[in-house]
Structure 1
Amino acid sequence: MEFFEDLKVDYKAGNKENYSGRISKLDNQYWHQEILFSNIEDFKVDNSTDIGIVGYVCDEGVLRNQGRIGARKGPKSVRNKLGKLPIHFENKKITDFGDVICLDNNLEDCQKALSKTISKLITNSILPIAIGGGHDIGYANFNGIKDALKSSTKNKIGIINFDAHFDLRTVETQPNSGTPFNQILTENKNARYFAIGIQQQSNTKELFEIAAENNVPYVSSFDCETFTSTLKKKLDAFIENVDYLYITIDLDGFSSAFAPGVSAPSPLGFTPSFVYQVLPFLFQSKKVISCDIAELNPDLDIDGHTASLAARLIDFMVFNA
C-alpha cells in the first residue's frame, strides 16, 4: 500500500458487493445501480466523480473513551442501507473509495490514513462524505481538509457538529473519541467550532468551561425542536467568518427513538426533521468542503433503524450538495 506507506493500517477499495437492492429494468433508480467504485491508491482524475464515500473502520477511540465498541462495523451497515435507497438527485456522480481500517489499536495511524484520503479527494474537487467509526473521525477529517488547503490563503475552517457532546475533553494519556475538537482548537488558530444539540446531562461542568474558554458557540438540545430564526442568525454569523464548512454528525445527538444504535443513546436528543431543516441552509452557503457521520454501532441497533437514518442523511447531503 504505497499511498499509506509507513502507516499501520489496512485498506480495502470500494466494492460493489457492499451495495444491494431491488432489481430495476430502468437505470438511475437506486443507489446500488449508479454508485461507482475505486481504489484511492490508484485513483486517477477524470472529472467523473463529484462526491466520494470513504469508510473509517475504527472504534479504538470509543474503547479508549470507555464507550461500547462496535462502531467499526458502521460503514458496512450504512452501505447496505444506502444501496437500497431510490435516487432523486441528478447530474451527480458518486464513487465509493473503500475503507481505511484500524489495526492493532493504532488509532493515530488510522486517523492519518483517513486524513490523506480526505485531502486527496478535496484536492481533486471531490466532496468527501466519510462514514465512521468513532467520533475521533473528526480529528482525521479536519486534518485532511487542512492539508488540502495548505497552499490556500482561504483556510479558515468552521466545524458544525450535530452532537449531544462537546467532545472537548483534554488529552490526558491518549486521544480518543471524546477529544477531537479540543485537539483541533488547540492545534489550529484558524479553526472555529459550533456545536448543535448539546445536552447538559451529557457534559461535565469542565467541558462547558472549556467551550467558554475557546469561544465555542453552542445550541442546547432543548432549542433544537425547529430551525428557529435565532439559530439561523447564529449560524449566519458563524458562516460569514469562515472560508469553509466541515459538517460532522454524531448519531448520538438524535433521540434514541430514532438512533438507538449508538454507544451513548439518549431520549433527549433532536429529531431527523430538525437536522433535515438545517442541512440545506448549510449547503446553500456553498462553503461545505467535507462531511462525515459518526458513532453508528450496529451491534446495538434495533432493526437497522440507526443505519437507515445514517444512510438517509448521506442521501440528503448528496441531494443538497
Structure 2
Amino acid sequence: MKTKLSTLNAEYLPGQKQYWTGRDSNPNIENQYWHQEIKLLDINNLNNQSIIDIGIIGYACDEGVRRNLGRPGAAKGPRAVRDRLAKLPIHFNTKRVADFGDVSCVEQDLESCIEAFSIIISELIAQKIFPIAIGGGHDMAFGHFMGLRKALKNASKKSIGIINFDAHFDLRPIEKLSNSGTPFNQIIAELEKTGEKIDYFAIGIQQQSNTKRLFDIAKTHQIKYAINYECEPSVEKIKHLQEQLKPLISNTDYLYITIDLDGFSSAYAPGVSAPSPLGFNPFFVFKMLDFLLDTKKVISCDIAELNPKIDRDKNTAILAARLVDFITMKHHKIVM
C-alpha cells in the first residue's frame, strides 16, 4: 500500500491526535466523547489484525472546485469536521472507529489525488471497514466509486447503486479537465467501457442550479431524481420518495451514499461554495439516511463541499459532524 501511494503525486497524512481535542471526563468512567474513543491509524500499516468497523478518511482537496470556478476552501473541510466531531458525546459503544487521516492534492494534480483516494477506499473495503469520507470537493465521488468498484471486482455481488443528496447532478461532460461538476459523468464513461449502466438517484436537484443539457444527460442515462420541492420532512413526502428509491435498492447489491452539503438550505449549511436558500433541511436527510441504512446495503458514505472559510458560526461543520455521528450510530455491518 505504501508503495502504491508513494508513486502518486499526492500527499497522505495518517490520523493526527492534534485534530481530536475536547473536554475531559471522569477517568473512572468509560469514554464519553469522540476525541477519547477515536483510534488513529495509518492506511499503510493496516492489516487483518486491525479490528476496525468504521474508517474516517479526509479528502483535503478543492482543486476540483477551483477548476469548476467555485470558491476554494473545501480542502480545510476534513479538519473542520474533526474539530466539531471530537467534541460530540459517543453513543456507539459497540463500534470501533478510526481516523485514517487525509489525502491531499499536490501541485493542482487533481487526478493523482483522486487516484490516491480511490486506493485508500479500496483498501478499507478490502479490510471490511466501512468508509466515511469527508471533503473536500465533490470530485471525490469519482474516486470513491472507483475504489469501491476495484474492491468488489472479484466478488460475486458487485453492483453499486449511487444515492446523491445534492442540488446538482454533477453530470457535466469533461471539456478540458475533470472538476467537481463531472464525477458522475466520469462514472458513466467508466461503466460504458464494460457495457454497464449507472444506477444513480439524485435527491434535492434544483432546476436553477442545473442547465437543460444536464437534465437531458440525466434523461439519456435514465437517471432518477427528486426535485428539491419534493424533499420535505413530511411523513407523506418521505414515504413517497422511499417508494421511488425501492427499485434501485432492489436492483443493486450495495448502496454508496454521497452527500453534498450544498443540497441543504443555506439556513443550515452556509459554508459551501454554492449555497442556496431553497435546499432541503437536516430532518429530511436524517430520516432518509435512517431508511437507507436500515436496508443493510450501504457500503460507504461521503460528505462533500464543506468550506470553513465561508462558514457561519461553524454551522456547516457542525451539521457535517452530526451526519458522521448519525451514520456511525446507525451503520449496519453488511456481508460482502
TM over 0.5, yes or no?
yes
CA distance, structure 2, for counterparts of residue 94 and residue 319 of structure 1 = 11
CA distance, structure 1, for counterparts of residue 280 and residue 125 of structure 2 = 30
Q: Does 1:43 align with 2:46?
A: yes
Paired residue secondary structure (1:191): coil
Shift in Å, 1:47: 5.0
CA distance, structure 2, for counterparts of residue 297 and residue 265 of structure 1 = 11
Aligned partners of 1:155 and 1:190 also within 8 Å: no
Q: Does 1:177 align with 2:174?
A: no
Identity of aligned residues (%): 57
Q: CA RMSD in A?
A: 1.0
1:214 to 217, 221, 243: 221
Give the counterpart letter for 1:24 in structure 2: S
2:140 to 137, 142, 147: 137
Aligned partners of 1:27 and 1:33 also within 8 Å: no
Task: Specify the alignment match of 1:12 in structure 2.
Answer: 13
Aligned partners of 2:238 and 2:288 also within 8 Å: no
Where in structure 2 are the equivalents of 1:112-127 lying within 5 Å?
A: 112-127=115-130
CA distance, structure 2, for counterparts of residue 246 and residue 2 of structure 1 = 28
CA distance, structure 2, for counterparts of residue 63 and residue 252 of structure 1 = 16
Aligned partners of 2:203 and 2:225 also within 8 Å: yes
CA distance, structure 2, for counterparts of residue 155 and residue 37 of structure 1 = 30
Shift in Å, 1:2: 2.1
CA distance, structure 2, for counterparts of residue 15 and residue 308 of structure 1 = 20
Task: Specify the alignment match of 2:276 in structure 1.
Answer: 266
Alpha-carbon displacement from aligned partner over 1:235-281 (angstroms, at most 9, x marks no partner): 11110011110000000000000000000000000000000100011
Which runs of no fewer than 5 residues in structure 2 stay unpaired? Answer: 332-336
1:194 to 186, 198, 201: 201
CA distance, structure 1, for counterparts of residue 132 and residue 309 of structure 2 = 23
Number of equivalent positions? 321
Paired residue secondary structure (1:125): coil
Paired residue secondary structure (1:230): helix
CA distance, structure 2, for counterparts of residue 47 and residue 292 of structure 1 = 22
Q: Does 1:73 align with 2:47?
A: no
Shift in Å, 1:92: 0.2
Out of 10-19 and 264-273, give the one that drifted further.
10-19
Which runs of no fewer than 5 residues in structure 1 stay unpaired? Answer: none
Aligned partners of 1:156 and 1:191 also within 8 Å: no
Alpha-carbon displacement from aligned partner over 1:295-321 (angstroms, at most 9, x marks no partner): 000000001000000000000000110
Paired residue secondary structure (2:44): coil
CA distance, structure 2, for counterparts of residue 228 and residue 272 of structure 1 = 13
Give the counterpart letter for 1:2 in structure 2: T
TM-score (normalised: structure 1): 0.98
Aligned partners of 1:185 and 1:192 also within 8 Å: no
Alpha-carbon displacement from aligned partner over 1:163-207 (angstroms, at most 9, x marks no partner): 000000000111000000011012111531000000001000000
Give the counterpart letter for 2:22 in structure 1: G
Paired residue secondary structure (1:29): coil
Alpha-carbon displacement from aligned partner over 1:81-110 (angstroms, at most 9, x marks no partner): 000000112300000001111000010000
Task: Specify the alignment match of 2:24 in structure 1.
Answer: 23
